[in-house]
Amino acid sequence: MRAVSFVSQLEFEFKGNVSKCAMSLGDVDNDNDYELVVGNLQGDLAVFKGQQCHPWAEKHNLGMIMVVVIGDVLNEGKNSTVCISGEGLCHIFGMKSDSLLDNEKQSLQLFHTQRLPANTKVALLADVDNDGEVELVLGLTDHVLRTYRWVRINQNPNDFTGKLVGLHKLELADQISSISLNPSTEGSPYILIAQSGGTYIHFQCCDEQAGEFSDGSSGSKLTTPIHHPLASSRMRNPNISSEILGGIRGTRNGETKDSLIAVATLDGTLMLVDGDDILWSFQVDHQLFTITKLDLLGDGEEEVIACAWDGQTYMVNQQRQSVRFQFEEPVSAFTSGKYSITPGTCTPALVYATFSDRVHLYYDVCLPSFKINNFLTAMEQHPESSDLLS
> DSSP 3-state assignment of 138?
strand
Do residues 208 and 221 touch, judged by C-beta distance below 8 A? Answer: yes
Q: Judge whether 216 lies within some domain.
A: no
Lowest mean pLDDT among 35-49, 74-88, 184-198, 207-221: 207-221
Q: Which of 225, 77, 74 lies closest to 163, judged by CA?
A: 74
DSSP-derived secondary structure for 259-308: EEEEEEETTSEEEEEETTEEEEEEE-SS-EEEEEEE-SSSSSPPEEEEEE
What's the confidence (pLDDT) of residue 212? 44
- Is the same domain home to 42 and 155? yes
Residue 54 pLDDT exceeds 60: yes
Average pLDDT score over residue span 146-162: 86
Q: Judge whether 27 lies within some domain.
A: yes
End of a domain among 311, 326, 341?
Answer: 326
Read off the CATH number of the domain in which 183 is found: 2.130.10.10
- Is the same domain home to 22 and 167? yes
Note the Cα 203 to chain centre separation in Å: 19
DSSP-derived secondary structure for 336-389: EEEE-SSTT--EEEEEEEESSSEEEEEE----S-SSPPPHHHHHHTSHHHHHHH
pTM (2 decimals)? 0.90
- Is the same domain home to 246 and 263? yes
Q: Is 62 exposed, middle or buried (0-12, 13-18, 19+ CB in 10 A)?
A: buried
Q: How far apart are the first and last CA of the chain?
A: 32
For the chain, how are helix, strand and coil distributed in percent, rounded to 5? 5, 50, 45
Tally of domains within the chain: 2
- Is the same domain home to 128 and 44? yes
- Is the same domain home to 185 and 285? yes
Q: Judge whether 5 lies within some domain.
A: no
The CA-atom distances, in angstroms, between 172 and each of 2, 148, 178, 182, 189 are 40, 18, 13, 19, 19
- Is the same domain home to 168 and 256? no
- Binned at pLDDT 50, 70 and 90, residue 185 comes out as confident
Read off the CATH number of the domain in which 52 is found: 2.40.128.630
Instruction: Report the C-alpha gap between 237 and 218 in whole angstroms.
Output: 44
pLDDT digits over 67-119, tens only? 999 999 999 999 999 999 999 999 999 986 555 455 667 888 999 999 999 99
**Any bridge partners for residue 89, and if so which?**
115
- Binned at pLDDT 50, 70 and 90, residue 233 comes out as low
Domain extent at residue 227: 177-207+221-326
Q: Which of 330, 380, 383 lies closest to 356, judged by CA?
A: 330
What does the mean pLDDT of the chain come to?
89
Q: Report which residue type is found at 160.
A: F
Q: Judge whether 1 lies within some domain.
A: no
Residue 329 pLDDT exceeds 90: yes
Average pLDDT score over residue span 154-158: 75
